[in-house]
Amino acid sequence: MRNKILLMTAVLLCVFGTGTIHAATLQYEYKTDFILNDETKALYVENIGDIPAIDYFLGYQFTIRGVNTCSVDIKLQRMGLTGNYTTLSAKQFIGNWFDFSAQDKVSIEPYHRYRIVAEEHSPNCGSVHVKGRYGVEYFTFD
């Protein structure tokens, strides 16, 4: 009886396999630290097709300080063949956002040029300090 159980266990392990598949995502590769003074800041991301991956995600994780009553709009955009940018995602952040809590992520395709645009849209805004990480996350199998 014991041999039958061991044989059945071995057969099931061969049929269903014993290995597991692991997935990994790499964090955003670029760091930034800038101050918005009634202006627009654009962060460009290029050459994302160099790393073989299953999925690519463009995104950011920012800490926004010094906003108080102002609003900051952050857009994820892709450049088209004509050179114009198309907005893939847009978020408006009002007030202070600490510990990289201002974040957004969108699925993208490789071999395109992308940018992240941060703009102030409120009057009487002082200097807004933005700090964090941005870029592309790659979803790959180990």
> 101: domain CATH number?
2.60.120.680
pTM: 0.74
- pLDDT tens digits, one per residue of 63-89: 988 877 778 899 999 998 888 999 999
Exposed, middle or buried by CB within 10 Å (0-12, 13-18, 19+), for 84?
exposed
Residue 87 covered by a domain: yes
- pLDDT tens digits, one per residue of 9-22: 766 666 665 554 54
If we measure between CA atoms, which residue out of 68, 133, 123, 121 comes closest to residue 91? 121
Residue 8 covered by a domain: no
Residue 34 is part of which domain span? Answer: 22-141
Residue 64 covered by a domain: yes
Residue 101 covered by a domain: yes
With a cut of 50, which residues of the chain have pLDDT below it?
A: 20, 22-23
DSSP, residue by residue, 85-98: EEEEEEEEEES-EE
- Structurally, the chain folds into a number of domains equal to 1
